[in-house]
Amino acid sequence: MRLLVDNNILIQILAPNTTGLTDPETKAVLVRVDERARAFVAEAERKKALILIPAPVLSEFLIGVAESKYQEYLDVLNGSACFEVVDFDTAAAIECAQLPNKKELAQISPGQYAKKLTYDRQIVGISLAAMADEVWSHDDSLRKIASSKGLAVKSLADIEPTPVQSQMFPPDDDS
């Protein structure tokens, strides 16, 4: 299984924070986001799935962190067999170029073609070229484009965090 992640998922994997993500379907604020990200990686490892990180997503992630931390994050990605950074290569460029439908192309003036090649379209092009089984994202635009191309689209709302273990025996009162 090949699972492609967007920056909003990559952030939660590498530098988790507990704010900002909502369920793309219900718009409800997600709780235990960092735990959901850990559960996502653990499930991928359990299934021997590959988590694909498009190079533009990695770039977007690195823009948001201090340069002194780059190697630390790259070491995490390179140190795990379940992560693979995938390039925007010729196959992805062809997939990206084929994304706009005829209606969209008719509405685009020649000077606007460059604007249509956004990160979202590059990511979907990479998804298609890399034969991703699922695209994991909270970005509405990316989700819409990926879904329109028949890709399965998921978010951290689709995975439950590992249940919190309750204590089997209460603590001794004598402690």
Q: What is the DSSP string of the chain?
A: -EEEE-HHHHHHHHS--SSS-B-TTT-PBPSSHHHHHHHHHHHHHHTT-EEEEEHHHHHHHHHTS-GGGHHHHHHHHHT-TTEEEE---HHHHHHHHT-S-HHHHHH--GGGHHHH--HHHHHHHHHHHTT-SEEE---HHHHHHHHHTT-EEE-GGGSPPPPPPPPSSPPPTT-
In a domain, 107, yes or no: yes
Q: Which of the pair, 44 or 117, is modelled with greater confidence?
A: 44
pLDDT tens string 7-31: 999 999 999 887 778 999 999 999 8
Q: Number of folded domains in the chain?
A: 1
- For residue 127, tell me if it sits in a domain: yes
pLDDT of amino acid 116: 47
The answer to whether the pTM exceeds 0.85 is: no
CATH number for 103: 3.40.50.1010
The answer as to whether 71 is a domain residue is yes
Give the per-residue pLDDT at 110. 58
Q: Is residue 70 part of a domain?
A: yes
Q: Has residue 29 been placed in a domain?
A: yes
pLDDT in tens, 32-87: 999 999 999 999 999 999 999 999 999 999 998 999 999 999 999 999 999 999 99
Domain carrying residue 76: 2-155
Query: Quick check: is 120 in a domain?
Result: yes
**Does residue 173 sit within a domain?**
no
